[in-house]
Amino acid sequence: MNALLDTHALLWWVTDDRRLSSRARALIGQGEILVSVVSLWEIEIKRGLNRIDVNTHAILGEVSRTDGFHWLPVMPSHVARLIDLPPLHGDPFDRMLVSQAGQEHVPLITRDKALRRYPVDVVW
């Protein structure tokens, strides 16, 4: 199964954090996984604000060299879909990930229960 990782799921996978659910971990290990450049951008912003302590270069390298992982750029079609999303969630990064998952027809791997209110499949 193909899927898109939410930012926290990406960080927890890279750091082998136990908060990543066993179902999410299994799905990541068996499918083609999309990682949005939006997540990398979010990580770097939060790192720059000292909200998280991560090495963004290490995350970039880990994703780039992991078999089955593919970078997902932000496309005009993702923005067009975003325009029509209701404002159910205030985080612009999460809203774009929802838009991308919907446009790419893949589930979003996320622990964020608020994202389940959108018309996109959520796996956790």
- Cβ atoms within 10 A of the Cβ of 98, count? 29
Query: pLDDT confidence of 1, banded at 50, 70, 90?
Result: low
Tell me the pLDDT tens digit for each residue of 26-60.
999 887 999 999 999 999 999 999 999 999 999 99
CA 79/CA 62 separation, integer angstroms = 27
Tell me the pLDDT tens digit for each residue of 54-80.
999 999 998 989 889 999 999 999 999
Q: Which helix (H) or strand (E) holds 5?
A: strand 3-5
Closest to 104 in 3D by CA, of 37, 1, 4, 25: 4
CA 98/CA 87 separation, integer angstroms = 12
**Six-digit token string for 83:** 């325009």
Whether this prediction's pTM lies above 0.75 is answered by yes
The full set of domains in the chain, from first to last, is 3-115 (3.40.50.1010)
